[in-house]
Amino acid sequence: MKRHILGLTAAALASSVALNSLSAAEIRVGATMRMISENGQKYGEMVQDEFDAINAAGGINGHTIKLSLLNDECKSDKGVANANKFIHQEKVHLLIGSTCSSVSLPIVDVTAQAEVPQIIPHSTNHQITQKGSAWVFRVPISARYYKGVVAKYVGDKVGKKIAYLYASDAAAVSDAEGLQSQMKELYGVDPVYSAQVQEKEIDFRSHLLKIKALSPDAIFIAALQEPMARALVQSYEVGLPASVKRLANSVASNAPVPAMAGDAIKGVFYTAAYSDSDDRPIAKLFNSMVKQRYGISKVDHDFSQAYDLVRIVEIALRNADLKLDDDNLKADRTAIRDAIAGVKDYQGLASGPISFCADPTPECRDGNRTVVLIGYKKGGEDFELGILDRVTMPVEFGLEK
């Protein structure tokens, strides 16, 4: 199995100039990610493995990428500390991070002040690119695109009486509030019930019993993996009937969720950037590679987004004019930022192209606009999914006019 599968192999892109004629200076990259779950650790491993493969194939124009990888545990203080360590102690040229929106958001301020390019692997909160930073780029789909697709599908095909149960994580809050605003805008309806819970909440049954009494058409659950699975299971324990459609934010795409939720995941649908059930040849090859390399049964969209991120970084680094010495650190950081902004119509694992541009606006920095609507046919370790639709959103969707 080839390490690179997208026609962007390090071997194919390596310079024809002999390595011994080039500088051995390093391109320093720091990555802070949530790696407290088994899959979270493997997302980090994938980033490391892909950079290692680039180095093994000759590096970037003869230069080696040195990756420093730290676990921020989805804690904003740890993420900020990691970012500061990378920037001020390790003098990185590029920062990758983070997984959780509540961590990525404060890091945006750190990288903007230090003028260090930051590229986001997984965070969806719309505010990340609305801060106006000239240094941030997002590979995953912004929540502003997700909310429009979900609202239209729910309102037209499920119903308009929606209950909301969501955790205090920034992405969950953004997703729930975004869907509520879209339901109001499109259909003129307010939530029949809405409650925010703590990220580490373990018992949702008091909320679910109240929701059951209101007989909603659907319940929207937005949380991290463990609480999402727990809430789905408890929704059936309190007798909320299967006729009440369960829908979730993109965290539902993570393989541990159906494994933990079991039969309670059946019928749940969500939006994501990628699905294991994708029948494109490129997706089948990627799924096979990830399963073989990391020993997992299913591939969620955070794997695909981590992979696409590395490929985009690889393209940008090859296009950047880098000096890689202490005197040119600031100039090299700027060159990398400008090279990422120059990536146009990257065709990878995402269902649509990913493009960036120079303006420090969401239109330029939210690179992926093609949302995949996905439903669970079966739960458990051997869960089954089906793609319901693919929708490419207008670049300006969800922005204040």
pLDDT of residue 38: 83
Return the residue matching tokens 């990758």: 96
Mean pLDDT for 94-98 is: 97
- Model confidence over 296-343: pLDDT tens digits? 888 989 999 999 999 999 999 999 999 999 999 999 999 999 999 999
Q: Give helix 301-319 / helix 329-341 axis angle, nearest 10°.
A: 120
Return the residue matching tokens 């679910």: 208
pLDDT of residue 9: 39
Q: Please name which of 123, 137, 109, 108 lies closest in space to residue 43, comparing C-alpha atoms.
A: 123
Q: In angstroms, what CA-CA distances link 128 with 103, 226, 227?
A: 10, 24, 24
3-state DSSP assignment of residue 121: coil
pLDDT of residue 2: 43
Return the residue matching tokens 């929704």: 235
How far is the C-alpha of 109 from the C-alpha of 128, rounded, in Å? 10
- Model confidence over 375-396: pLDDT tens digits? 999 999 889 999 988 999 999 9
How far is the C-alpha of 276 from the C-alpha of 259, rounded, in Å? 14
Given pLDDT bands bounded at 50, 70 and 90, which one contains residue 17?
very low
What are the chain's domains? 10-140+280-368 (3.40.50.2300), 144-278+372-392 (3.40.50.2300)
3-state DSSP assignment of residue 369: coil
- Model confidence over 197-215: pLDDT tens digits? 987 889 999 999 999 999 9
pLDDT of residue 37: 81
Cβ partners under 8 Å of residue 281, min gap 6? none
Residues facing 373 on adjacent strands: 271, 389
- Model confidence over 156-198: pLDDT tens digits? 999 999 999 999 988 899 999 999 999 999 999 999 999 999 8
pLDDT tops 50 at residue 133: yes
Dig out the tokens for 284 from the structure: 């089948």
Quickly list DSSP for 174-216. HHHHHHHHHHHHHH----SEEEEE-TT----HHHHHHHHHT--
Given pLDDT bands bounded at 50, 70 and 90, which one contains residue 88?
very high
User: Taking the model in full, what pTM does it have?
Assistant: 0.83
Given pLDDT bands bounded at 50, 70 and 90, which one contains residue 13?
very low
- Model confidence over 227-272: pLDDT tens digits? 999 999 999 999 999 999 999 998 998 889 999 999 999 999 998 9
Do 135 and 118 meet the contact criterion of CB atoms below 8 Å apart?
yes
How far is the C-alpha of 266 from the C-alpha of 40, rounded, in Å? 24
Q: What does pLDDT average to over the chain?
A: 92
Q: Phi/psi at 398 (nearest 5 deg)? A: 85, 0
Q: In angstroms, what CA-CA distances link 117 with 134, 248, 326, 337, 359?
A: 8, 32, 17, 5, 14
